[in-house]
Amino acid sequence: MIEARAINATAVRADFPILGRSINGKPLVYLDSAATSQKPAVVIDIMDDYYRRYNANPHRGVYTISEEATAAYESARQQVVAFINAASGKEVIFTRNTTEAINLVRYSWGRANIRNGDRILLTEMEHHSNLVPWQLLAQEVGASLEFLRIDDQGMLQLDELDARLEGVRLLAITHQSNTLGTINPIKAITAAAHRAGALVLIDGAQAVPHMAVDVRDLDVDFYAFSGHKMCGPTGIGVLWARRALLEAMPPFLGGGDMIKRVKLHEASWNDLPWKFEAGTPSVAEGIGLGAAVDYLKNLGMDQVRTHERTLVDYALEKLQEIPGIVLYGPRDPEIHGGSISFTIPDIHPHDLATLVDREGIAVRAGHHCTQPLMDRLGVPATTRASFYIYNQPDEVDQLVSGIQKAQKVFA
């Protein structure tokens, strides 16, 4: 048994070279990890090492460095398998990011299984990446989209879930809202969906970096996430799906590496997972993701979650003291992940973000790729502060004083 140690953010910060930077003469306070996380040196170094020592196309060459590249890339896949408790590497498809993973399901599974008149159930809080692909599919095949509503604390209204699920073919839902921070009860929702005969796709972009995720315990059917939000590089993401589903699905992209045998007029497909990985893969990025998984595993995902819950608890309390502030999302840090959205009266989020940037503080302002959610909240945009393993309570204090300074400018 590894002893559970609380995260020491000061020690963690030393692992992230970028956190030594100053912005406008002030130390960088990075509060936009929900958009992309920073990268520890181990991830940067392992990718550098790949390019310097064994850069080669994997799965093809019989020479030494190609075999090394293949081994490193496939070993990264195995690290992901263990990290999310997949049954095997056959279920872990490397994609470019969450968006591509969801689009893979839309094109491959969706086109083969969603028919005219079928119903797809989503929620009001979905990121555009888990909304627009389904709009496109619905328009293409004549399916209809329906939406679970949220309440005023940004939680899904689940009281009529069973009725809403009747006749639904696919439920596609975010594990954790990137805007509100709401952590959705995926296990219970999935059980209900399965009772109704629907398959379940989870957008896990905001969950896998921040909490222990066990895809088999959740019992979902598809689970998508990105490497760059979990200390890994951009350009690598994951689609996990049940093996039986993947076996039955037609290929997504055609090309090299995804085939077994090609003739002029036809081809047969490679085994899983490569059937869904056409073309030269993102080798360095895959290896970088493996190192990121290792890094997070060493910290312990339960400790990561505890660290963020403590920060959110503190931030909600501190932010509430700002006159006039409107906070969105659950008040209970147990179901509020590390993203907090808010608005300040008479200061547009973009003005606020620009002003706190002068203090070295990076926050997001805008609709956060959730325009329907902004409509639901009745605001054009919010400011969002999001936390990760390297953030500390004093950065929350700096944010609060940055907001107070902005209020003086606009007073």
Q: Which of residues 331-350 bind other proteins (CB under 8 A)?
A: 348-350
Rounded least distance, CB 380 to other proteins, Å: 2
Distance CA 214, CA 344 (A): 38
Comparing CA positions, the residue from 183, 189, 170 lying closest to residue 212 is 183
Residue from 39, 90, 119, 367 touching other proteins (CB under 8 A): that is 367
Chosen residue from 64, 139, 144, 354 binding other proteins by CB under 8 A: 354
146 or 351, CB closer to other proteins?
Answer: 351
Q: Pick the closer one to other proteins by CB: 35 or 379.
A: 379
Q: Is 294 in the site for other proteins (CB under 8 A)?
A: no
Please tell me whether residue 372 binds other proteins under the rule CB under 8 A: no
Rounded to a whole number of angstroms, the minimum distance from the CB of residue 139 to other proteins is 20
Nearest to other proteins of 241, 374 (CB atom): 374
Q: How many CB atoms lie within 10 A of CB 32?
A: 21
Are 145 and 123 in contact, with CB atoms under 8 Å apart? no
Interface pick for other proteins out of 61, 366, 372, 393 (rule CB under 8 A): 366
CB 357 to other proteins: min, Å: 8
Closest C-alpha among 162, 158, 153 to residue 123 = 158
| String of contacts with other proteins for each residue 9-48, x by CB under 8 A | ---------------x------------------------
Applying CB under 8 A, does 194 fall inside the site for other proteins? no
- Residues that bind other proteins (rule: CB under 8 A) add up to a total of 18
Please choose, out of 5-13, 128-136, 144-152, 364-372, the segment that lies near other proteins by the rule CB under 8 A.
364-372
> What CA–CA distance (Å, rounded) separates 379 from 149?
17
Q: Is 374 in the site for other proteins (CB under 8 A)?
A: yes
Specify the residue, 158 or 379, whose C-beta has the smaller distance to other proteins: 379
Torsion angle of C-alpha atoms 394, 37, 332, 309, degrees rounded to 10: -60
Distance between terminal CA atoms of the chain? 56
Task: Determine the Cα–Cα distance for residues 41 and 29; give it in Å rounded to an integer.
Answer: 18
377 binds other proteins (CB under 8 A): no
Q: Binding of other proteins at residue 410 (CB under 8 A)?
A: yes
Q: Minimum distance between the CB of residue 355 and other proteins, rounded to whole angstroms?
A: 6
Spell out the long-range contacts of 296-302 with Cβ–Cβ below 8 A and sequence spacing 24 or more.
Answer: 296/83, 296/209, 296/230, 296/231, 297/83, 299/7, 299/12, 299/389, 300/2, 300/4, 300/5, 301/211, 301/212, 301/213, 302/4, 302/211, 302/212
Q: How far is the CB of 347 from other proteins (least distance, A)?
A: 8
- Cβ of residue 371: shortest distance to other proteins, in angstroms? 8
CA distance 247 to 252: 12
Q: Does 144 bind other proteins (CB under 8 A)?
A: no
User: How many angstroms separate the CA atoms of 368 and 361, rounded?
Assistant: 18
Establish if 368 lies at the interface with other proteins (CB under 8 A). Answer: no
d(CA 30, CA 387): 8
Q: How far apart are CA 318 and CA 231, in angstroms?
A: 27
**C-beta of 411: minimal distance to other proteins in Å?**
10
Buried b (16+ CB within 10 A) or exposed e, 319-339: beebeebebbbbeebebbbbb
> Which region among 62-70, 196-204, 217-225, 363-371 touches other proteins (by CB under 8 A)?
363-371
Catalytic residue IDs? 369
Nearest of 48, 50, 68 to residue 58 by alpha carbon:
68
d(CA 229, CA 204): 11
Query: Alpha helix locations (H) across 240-370?
Result: 243-248, 283-299, 301-320, 349-357
DSSP state of 400: H
135 lies in the binding site for other proteins (CB under 8 A) = no
Q: Please report how close the Cβ of residue 349 comes to other proteins at its closest, in angstroms.
A: 8
Is residue 64 within the footprint of other proteins (CB under 8 A)? no
Nearer to other proteins, 185 or 366 (CB): 366
Please say which residue, 238 or 374, places its beta carbon nearer to other proteins.
374
Helix, strand or coil, per DSSP, at residue 30? strand
Q: Given the complex with other proteins, which of 96 and 364 has the nearer CB atom?
A: 364
Q: Which residues sit at the interface with other proteins, rule CB under 8 A?
A: 24, 348-351, 354-355, 357-358, 366-367, 371, 374, 379-381, 409-410
